[in-house]
Amino acid sequence: MSWVQARYPQARRLELRKNCKAPRGQFSHGSACHMYVNCWDDVVIEESCPGGLLFNEKGYCDYDYNVECGDRKIESEYTVPYHR
């Protein structure tokens, strides 16, 4: 059993795989704006953006004022206040 299989039960892996828009790449998480899925062929790993950043549709973590979260939830502990 691989570490991915041990960390993510089959049902969870199938659920996460729905977020993969291509066989390889980083894509937005289905429900949380500070998270994303890292897809590599048959391996899908759920990851979080560091330091209060949010994941944008361009495929990387960015500041909240550059990200449109849509229906994905934003957890306040992950957002960084924007100061002008």
pLDDT tens, residue by residue, 33-49: 999 999 999 889 999 99
Structure tokens at 41: 């062929």
Q: What percent of the chain has pLDDT over 70?
A: 80
Residue 77, pLDDT above cutoff 70: no
Pairwise CA distance, residues 49 & 4, whole Å:
19
Which residue has better confidence, 51 or 75? Answer: 51
pLDDT of 74 > 50? The answer is yes
pLDDT confidence of residue 79: 47
Q: What's the mean pLDDT in 62-81?
A: 78
Is the per-residue pLDDT at 70 higher than 50? yes
Q: Alpha helices, DSSP H only, in the chain?
A: 3-7, 10-17
Domains of the chain, each with CATH number or no CATH: 3-62 (2.170.140)
